Amino acid sequence: MVDAVYEEARFASLYDVLNPWQPCYEFYRKKMMVADSVLDIGCGTGKVLAEARRSGHRGRLVGADPAAAMLTIARAKTDEVEWLCSDVQRLPTNDRFDLVVMTGHAFQLLLTDDDIRAALDAIRQVLGPSGQFIFEVRNPVVRGWEQWTDRNTRRTVSAPDGGVVEVVYIFERQRPPDLVDYETAFRFHDVGESYSVSSTLRFINPTRLCEILTATGFEIVRQEGDWSGAPWTSASPEVIMTTCLSAD
């Protein structure tokens, strides 16, 4: 479970510039602050965990990500969080956490039902008996990928090294029933170099998602439709799932 675009340091270094602090991060930070121990799977550059520690979290904070380049940035933020180079299926099984999260739509990198089941099996092994697993996916009904065009997504940003980089996300194709291929294109103006990386996300049907969760031993506590906490509806932009282990 890794997006190839963030496996290289030059691209990973742009993540925080392209994704400044926003309501989704604050949503998860608040959840972390009331949990004694937290595991963030697919933590990326570790911005939410680092901010939770800066905000006064006194318990255990662990971030796991398979992209070493992202973790290099996370480690530079703080050494008061445990950083693990690991994907969801290789987590330490002797640990238990009060809260497990997957932020930044990382769950959508699980492209098949078998991938999701394997991930949920691994999460079940590290979630404490009264803990919660919280994550989000984009609502496929909204068809947000149709807005991933040159006109809508092109941005020019200053890289941490001072260079100027142009970034654009381009929808390529939809593969039935629910896979979306897209391209991230980078142009480094200072050196006149261009690169593109192809990625795939799964826009899983919410009903199917709930079926898999229930079948793998999770109970759905709450479904929210945006970062303000509004209840989920079929027109909501997000499907934010709060789950716990089933009592059965």
pLDDT digits (tens, 9 = 90+) for 142-166: 999 999 999 999 999 999 999 999 9
pLDDT tens per residue across span 28-72: 999 999 999 999 999 999 999 999 999 999 999 999 999 999 999
Q: Closest by alpha carbon to 131, among 173, 103, 98?
A: 98
- How many Å apart are CA 71 and CA 84, to the nearest integer? 8
Return the pLDDT at 82.
97
Tell me the DSSP string of 125-169. HHEEEEEEEEEEEE-GGG-GGGG-SHHHH-EEEE-TTS-EEEEEE
CA dihedral (41, 43, 48, 49) in degrees, to 10, reads 70
Work out the mean pLDDT of the chain and round it to a whole number: 95
Return the pLDDT at 61.
98
Return the pLDDT at 1.
59
| pTM, entire model | 0.96
Helix 68-77 and helix 47-54, axial crossing angle in degrees, nearest 10: 10
Return the pLDDT at 2.
61
Q: Closest by alpha carbon to 146, among 120, 171, 179?
A: 171
Asked if the model's pLDDT at residue 93 lies above 90, the reply is no
Q: Residue 217 is encoded by which pair of tokens?
A: 């031993």
